[in-house]
Amino acid sequence: MQPNQTDTETVQQTEGGGTVASSVLLGIRRKIYCFNNGGSYGWMSAVAIAEDGHCLAGHTCTSEGYMRHDLGMDGSTWKHENYDKHYGAGNWELEWVKNPKNHEGIQKAFALNALLPKPKEGEDA
């Protein structure tokens, strides 16, 4: 079995009529993509999105140089509780994506994110 591949996959219908693929985890470490979502110096947006499209963490950083740490990379444990809650402890790995427009995995995550139900007004995302 290849990394990030599963032997069982199900498709769920969303409230909006779209579908979201989810898989049965079989000891495979799921990808969480971390990237710079733009902004300007002092107000840079760092984001972590799961391969299944769920946005798991965000942080406002003064510069891109702090983003990896602030999303839990490079020895930091920041945001790890979010990742553990979504995939379970030890079932995920972080990947820094320098150029999201040219990264196949994060583009798939963006497409799945667009299919997720939107929170109702007054609900947390």
Taking only the tens place, the pLDDT of each residue in 70-108 is: 999 999 999 999 999 999 998 999 999 999 999 999 999
Task: Report the C-alpha gap between 114 and 43 in whole angstroms.
Answer: 25
Task: Report the C-alpha gap between 66 and 49 in whole angstroms.
Answer: 17
Task: Report the C-alpha gap between 73 and 88 in whole angstroms.
Answer: 17
In a domain, 38, yes or no: yes
Structural domain span for residue 67: 31-110
> Which long-range contacts link 22-27 to residues 24+ away (Cβ below 8 Å)?
22/52, 23/52, 25/87, 25/88, 25/91, 26/1, 27/91
* pTM assigned to the model: 0.75
In a domain, 67, yes or no: yes
Taking only the tens place, the pLDDT of each residue in 107-121 is: 999 999 999 998 888
DSSP state of 97: -
Counting the structural domains of the chain, the total is 1
Taking only the tens place, the pLDDT of each residue in 31-78 is: 999 999 999 988 999 999 999 999 999 999 999 999 999 999 999 999
Task: Report the C-alpha gap between 60 and 58 in whole angstroms.
Answer: 7
Q: Of 12, 11, 10, 48, nearest to 30 (Cα)?
A: 48
